[in-house]
Structures are given as structure tokens and as C-alpha cells.
Amino acid sequence: MIKILENRKQQKEDEQEMKEKRKIDRELKRKLKEEENAKKEEKKNEKKKRTEENKKRKLSKNQKKSEKSTTSRLCSNCLLETDDPQLGLHFELKCPESAHRQLRAKEYCSRASISKYYCLYDENYKQFVESCQEEPDHVRPGEKYVITGRRRNVNCSSERLQPFLFWSNTSSVCVYIRSQCNDIGQILYNKGSNKIDKSCRCDYRKGYDFIARPKNSCFCKPAQEDCSCYLTNCSRHLTPGILRMFQQESNHVDTLCPPILLDSNDEEHNTYKTIHIEEKKEGKNY
């Protein structure tokens, strides 16, 4: 009987021990699973972090590329305005002058498209833009190219002139500034055109005459001659007739210059007579 009781007691102890072992095994398995899950979560977080970092790097790269493109393309009055995100500086870059245009084309365009480079005014965005996408082309004298969604030829502004062909890849504006005929004693003789410069004369009504006699005794071309005027010593103001006598005495061509009809500040004065004289003497149509 005692032996039976001892066996039962031993059996219970064995069962208890087995239960403890199972409990310990379950706890170990749980911990191992938790550790495994933690490692999986850590790997997942690391992967997510790497993905986010890659996205940020890609976004930053695209942003820099976009900023570089903006830096290269946007300008106002032929000035490129740029914000440097790294230095935090605001500075201006000019569209290239003729001497620097080739260097800028090499920097901005690929080697195969250097000849296609242009910097032209965009009338839609009111600023200059650069491009390497179109073949170079030219327009006739007196005109220039602008961008209106595409390249389009327009007349030069009233302040500038273009006496020869305008090539899209060699210039941004019409090449020459028009003369003003506003020096001492000067007045306008002919307002010219967008391909021919203005011509000037001296205001004989106020006693002014040319310092150096020009090729045409009635007017002077500022881009080709010295058009300076001086105040004569006459006690009375010159008239076309008196001016004619001075020209005869100086062995100059006997030419009756047209009188000044309107105020010297009026750019329209004498235009029709000026054209008549120039056509007659030089055979040119202004």
C-alpha cells in the first residue's frame, strides 16, 4: 500500500515536472518568436528607411536638376535671376554677349547641338529663355526673333536697328542702338527705320552749323561721321539761303537744304523733304 502511494506521488511529481518543462518550452518558443518578429520588424523598418532615403535623394536630385534648368532658362530683360539653394544667395546672370556665346553654348548644350543654342525673349512669360532644340535660322534686316510658343520674327524696337540678317543663334536683340540727334545744336533730319540709322542736322535757326562738313551738306550720319555742331559768329541766325552761301564759299556742293518746318523736338518734321533730297542725291530709299 505504501509502495502504491509512493508510486502515485512520484507520478504526480513527474507530471508536475513535465508541466514545468512544457511551460518553459512554451516560454522559450514565445521569446524566440518575439525575437524573430522583432528582427523582421527591424529589417522592415530598415528597408522602409532606405526606401525613404532613396526617395529623398531622388527628389533632391530632381529638384536640383529642375533648379539648374530654371537657372539656365529664366531671365528678365536678358538677365537670368537665380536663387542658389545651397548658398542662399540671389544673383543675376546676363545672356551671353557675342564673344561669350560659344562658351555658353558648350556649357548649356550637348556637343551635337551647340550651333542650335539661342537666348531669345519669350513674350508669353515676359523673360528671356535659352534652348538647344531648334536649328538656327535668320530673318531679314530690321527684324529679330522672339518666342511666342514658337520662334517668330518681329520688327526691332524703336530704340534699336538691325542693318543685316538677324541669326537666332548669334544675338538676343537687334544689334545697334539708334542715334538720338540730341547733342548741342543738333536736330533730327530723318528718323530712319528699323534697319537704317537716323540722320541729323544742325539747327540753323539758332545759328548752329557742322564743325566738320559731312558728305552730304544738308545732313550727317552719326554712325559714319562726326555730326558735332558749333555756334557760328553770325550776328543773325542762319537760314537755308545763308547756309547755301557758306557752302558756296567753302567750295561745297550747291545744295538747297530743306527748311525746318516744325519744332526741333518733333521727330516727324521734314521727313518728306528729307526723303526727296536723299533719293535725288544718293539714290537710296530711306
CA 39 to the chain's CA centroid: 57
- The per-residue pLDDT for 102 is 86
Segment 114-142, tens digit of pLDDT = 888 999 988 998 888 888 988 999 899 99
User: Which amino acid is present at 114?
Assistant: I
- The per-residue pLDDT for 245 is 53
pLDDT below 50 — which residues of the chain? 70-92, 235-236, 249-255, 264-286
Q: Is 28 exposed, middle or buried (0-12, 13-18, 19+ CB in 10 A)?
A: exposed
- The per-residue pLDDT for 64 is 65
pTM beyond cutoff 0.85: no
Average pLDDT, the chain: 76
Burial state string for 67-84 with b = 16 or more CB within 10 A and e = fewer than 16: eeeebbbbbeebebebee
- The per-residue pLDDT for 254 is 39
The ranges assigned to domains in the chain are: 79-176, 179-282
CB 128 within 8 A of CB 76: yes
- The per-residue pLDDT for 276 is 37
| C-alpha atoms less than 13 angstroms from C-alpha of 81 in its C-beta half-sphere | 4
User: Which amino acid is present at 141?
Assistant: P
Q: Regarding beta strands 138-139 and 166-167, do their DSSP bridges make them parallel or antiparallel, or are they unpaired?
A: antiparallel
Query: Cα(223)–Cα(227) distance, rounded to whole angstroms?
Result: 9
Query: Cα(39)–Cα(236) distance, rounded to whole angstroms?
Result: 109
- The per-residue pLDDT for 201 is 93
CB 272 within 8 A of CB 237: no
With CA atoms as reference, report the closest residue to 128 among 116, 120, 138: 120
Segment 252-279, tens digit of pLDDT = 443 478 888 755 444 444 443 443 334 3
* β-bridge partners, 210: 229
- The per-residue pLDDT for 90 is 43
H/E run at residue 70: helix 2-73
Q: Is 286 exposed, middle or buried (0-12, 13-18, 19+ CB in 10 A)?
A: middle
With CA atoms as reference, report the closest residue to 152 among 164, 134, 177: 134
Q: What is the per-residue DSSP string for 15-66?
A: HHHHHHHHHHHHHHHHHHHHHHHHHHHHHHHHHHHHHHHHHHHHHHHHHHHH
- The per-residue pLDDT for 262 is 56
User: Which amino acid is present at 242?
Assistant: I
**123 three-state secondary structure:** coil
